[in-house]
Amino acid sequence: MEIKQTKIKAGGIKFFIEQDGKEAARAYLYVLKNDLHEEPFGFLEDVFVDESLRGQGLGTKLLKEIFRMAKISKCYKIVATSRHERPKVHDLYERLGFKNRGLEFRMDLPPHLI
């Protein structure tokens, strides 16, 4: 059997908040599609709020805007990942309606594999 390929279109949007000309908070939404659903899904990546500004609602504001864009993009779900050592981020996600549904597995590809 032969492995075949077909290109799939995906798009990403960077959302960010600036304060005094510096990036105070950011997050990325990638809109992806697979054959399991008619609608696309959103993948949330690299949610960040500057340490000195945490606890002021910037992360919540950013994520609510991402949810709005995901709805406009007709996403049926949003998937977010987070490292184990980030319990405050996990609390934020759960407060906003995310459910812990499993584990994330990751492999950093070494240069010699390319």
Strand pairing report for 22-32 and 11-19:
antiparallel
CB 24 within 8 A of CB 17: yes
Interval 8-60: pLDDT, tens: 889 999 999 999 999 999 999 999 999 999 999 999 999 999 999 999 999 99
- Could you tell me the residue ranges of all domains in the chain? 11-99
What pTM was estimated for this model as a whole? 0.88
The domain 11-99 having CATH identifier 3.40.470.10: the answer here is: no
Interval 8-21: pLDDT, tens: 889 999 999 999 99
CA torsion angle 108 44 79 58 (round to 10)? 130
Read off the pLDDT band of 114 (50, 70, 90). Answer: low
Residue 99's region, left for phi above 0, alpha for psi from -120 to 50, else beta, is beta
Classify residue 110 by its DSSP letter. P
